Amino acid sequence: MKILKTYLLLLLLLTPAMASAQVPEIPDPNLNDIAMVFPHPDHGAVIVYNPTICQQIGAACGFFRAHEYGHVVLGHTLLHPSAYPAVREAQADEWAAANGRPNEILAAYYLFLNGGSSENWQVYGHPQQRAERLRLFAIQYGTWIGP
Ligand SMILES: [Zn+2]
Residue 102 lies in a domain: yes
Query: From ligand 1's centre to the CA of 105, what distance in Å?
Result: 15
Residue 147 lies in a domain: no
Residue 35 lies in a domain: yes
Neighbour-count burial of 131, counting CB atoms closer than 10 A to its CB (0-12 exposed, 13-18 middle, 19+ buried)? buried
The pLDDT score that the predictor gives to residue 111 is 95
Residue 79, pLDDT > 90, answer: no
Residue 77 lies in a domain: yes
Protein residues near ligand 1, an ion, with CB under 5 A: 89, 92
Instruction: Identify the band that residue 67 occupies on the pLDDT scale cut at 50, 70 and 90.
Output: very high
Determine which of 10-14, 18-22, 33-37 has the lowest per-residue pLDDT on average: 10-14
Mean pLDDT of the residues in the chain: 84
Residue 45, pLDDT > 70, answer: yes
Q: What is the pTM of this model?
A: 0.79
CB 112 within 8 A of CB 104: no
Query: From ligand 1's centre to the CA of 118, what distance in Å?
Result: 10
Percent of the chain with pLDDT over 70: 80
Residue 27 lies in a domain: yes
Structural domain span for residue 127? 2-141
Residue 146 lies in a domain: no
| Count of domains observed in the chain | 1
Query: From ligand 1's centre to the CA of 9, what distance in Å?
Result: 25
Instruction: Identify the band that residue 120 occupies on the pLDDT scale cut at 50, 70 and 90.
Output: low
Residue 7 lies in a domain: yes
Query: From ligand 1's centre to the CA of 92, what distance in Å?
Result: 6
Query: From ligand 1's centre to the CA of 4, what distance in Å?
Result: 33
